[in-house]
Structure formats: structure tokens, C-alpha cells
Amino acid sequence: MKHISSTQNTVIKDCILLQSKGKKRTEKKQFVVEGSRELRLAHLAHYTISTLFWCPEIFAKQDFASWIKTFNNHITVISVSLAVYQKMVIRGSTEGIVGIVNQKNNSLKSWQPHNKNPLVIVLESIEKPGNLGAILRTADASGVDAVIITEEHTDIHHPNVIRSSVGGFFSATLFVCSNEEAKHFLQKNKINIYAASLQKSIFYNKANYKASTAFVMGSEAKGLSDFWRDQEVTAVKIPMLGNVDSLNVSVATSVLAYETVRQRNS
């Protein structure tokens, strides 16, 4: 097994660039995953892991040997010194393992809903990786069938998306496309569209989500664009009983997703 003890090694520099530069992730069609749990979830979700960097000073040899048995034999494993490992990671505690993972095809054209009444979340121009990750966590927990990112402002493979999703990134059926493509897909599949908006809206718990449902959520700063407001969609709102005028987008998405779960199970 190859061992690297210098932070100036080209392989290490390339991994660090994948962590920090969205352009590099797009160019290589790869991203970095930290932590044994996250890497196992990536493997279970059929992501291809090309390289693992293992720090024996954190992850004991016997434990690592047991952990890696569940993976295939085509992964390149490189041991690294503690100093190198600390240079590579963003999180303070990641069990001594980092992986380079190949991106999947995120084209909406490739998906056909398996659920006869799918629940879809559409996220327009979400800006903060932490919010996107939190929404993916909710999507996993509430059984959302797909998350569609439109007019992408945040790299879906950003390390903070992976981290804040707590593994939800890997279980999510995730697509990136334009508003037009998303609208066409939803209409083609006869999925009812509900836009989270204060204008001309009804309270969220007054609508019926038992049939095929899509919730369209807007950006943190600007909300939904005129594109979605001008469509023939039902606008829904969550009542605000205090002094603030809106919820964080990840919290609002959770409220709507679980209202759907409540209705469908009642």
C-alpha cells in the first residue's frame, strides 16, 4: 500500500482542490467524502469510490481492515500521515478516512417516478450549502421521491452539503435542471405543483397532498422568482405568529413534507 507523508504530494493537492473548488469538482466529475459512515452510505447508494485515504494514527489497522471488507476490491487505498490527513479534511472528527467519489448523472430526463403518487421537492436558486444539506436530510426522513435543483446557485457536491445532509445526500434522488425543464417534467407526469409563497396563497394545511405533489421552494434571499409565480400553481403559506415574516427554507420544507406524510397516513 502506498504511503504519503508530504502535503506537497500531487495526489494530496488534487484532493484538497476537490474539497475547496467547485470548478475542480465539475471538471473531474468527482467530489470528496469524509467519514466512515458517509462513505459506507455512498457505497450502499452505488456511488463509485475511486480512492480512499486512510490515516492509521486515527483509524486503527484492525478496525480499518474490518470496515473495508464491505467494499469492492477496485478501490485504491493510500495511507497518509496525521499531518497530511489534517490538511485534507474540513471536519474536525472524521474517523481517519477520506474518499474521492465519482459523481452520478443528475439529468432529470433519466428518471421515471416509481411511486404512483410521488412527492417531489423543487428548490429554486438555493444559495446556502447548509440549507440544501438539511433539506436532503428531511427528504430522506420524510420519504421524498426526488429533489430537483433548478437554476443552480450552490454546487450540490459542496462539502457542506454532504456534511449537513448527514448521509441524506446519498439516499436522495437528486436532479439539476432549469425551471423550464422542471415545469415540463412535473406537468408531463401530472404532478400537482404547490409554490411556497405569501402572494395569493392559502394556508398550507388547507390543500390536499394525497395525490402526486411537488413543493417549489425559493431562494433564501429572494424567495420564488416570477417564473413560478406566473405559472398555474397553488400558492401555500405557513402561518407566522410572531414578529419574523418567514421560516428558514429548510424548516419550511420540513413542515410541508411532513404535512404530506400526515395527510397520506391519516
pLDDT digits (tens, 9 = 90+) for 167-198: 999 999 999 999 999 999 999 999 999 999 87
Residues 54 and 137 in one domain: no
- Diameter of the chain by CA atoms? 63
Q: Which residues, at least 6 apart from 173, have a Cβ–Cβ distance to it below 8 Å?
A: 111, 145, 146, 147
Query: Do the bridges between strand 234-237 and strand 97-102 make them parallel or antiparallel, or are there none, so unpaired?
Result: unpaired
Position 242 pLDDT exceeds 80: yes
Domain residues for the domain of 67 are 2-102
Position 70 pLDDT exceeds 90: no
- Which of helix, strand or coil describes residue 4? strand
Assign 105 a pLDDT band (cuts: 50, 70, 90): confident
Q: Are 103 and 31 in contact (CB under 8 A)?
A: yes
Assign 123 a pLDDT band (cuts: 50, 70, 90): very high
Assign 88 a pLDDT band (cuts: 50, 70, 90): very high
Q: How many domains does the chain have?
A: 2
Task: Determine the pLDDT at residue 235.
Answer: 93
Element (H, E) at 39: helix 36-44
pLDDT, mean of residues 152-163:
93
Q: Are 118 and 191 in contact (CB under 8 A)?
A: yes
Q: Which residues, at least 6 apart from 213, have a Cβ–Cβ distance to it below 8 Å?
A: 117, 118, 119, 120, 191, 192, 194, 260
Residues 24 and 61 in one domain: yes
Q: Which of 102, 118, 141 is the last residue of a domain?
A: 102
Residues 95 and 115 in one domain: no
Q: Which of 102, 119, 150 is the last residue of a domain?
A: 102
**Strand-pair partners of 52:** 77, 99
All 3 cell numbers of residue 98?
A: 477520506
Position 94 pLDDT exceeds 80: no
Residues 136 and 259 in one domain: yes
Inter-helix orientation angle 249-265/129-142, to 10° = 10
Task: Determine the pLDDT at residue 72.
Answer: 75
pLDDT, mean of residues 145-162:
94
Position 155 pLDDT exceeds 90: yes
pLDDT, mean of residues 69-98:
89
Residues 177 and 72 in one domain: no
All 3 cell numbers of residue 158?
A: 459542496
Residues 132 and 238 in one domain: yes
Q: What percent of the chain has pLDDT over 70?
A: 100
Assign 114 a pLDDT band (cuts: 50, 70, 90): confident
Task: Determine the pLDDT at residue 189.
Answer: 93
Q: Which of 84, 102, 120 is the last residue of a domain?
A: 102
Q: Nearest Cα to 132, choosing from 104, 156, 96?
A: 156
Average pLDDT, the chain: 93
Assign 53 a pLDDT band (cuts: 50, 70, 90): very high
Position 84 pLDDT exceeds 80: yes
Residues 98 and 229 in one domain: no
What CATH number has the domain bearing residue 192? 3.40.1280.10
Residues 64 and 125 in one domain: no
Position 120 pLDDT exceeds 80: yes
Residues 142 and 231 in one domain: yes
Residues 97 and 126 in one domain: no
pLDDT greater at residue 163 or residue 198: 163
What CATH number has the domain bearing residue 57? 3.30.1330.30
| Predicted model pTM | 0.92
Position 109 pLDDT exceeds 80: yes
Residues 211 and 245 in one domain: yes
Residues 261 and 144 in one domain: yes
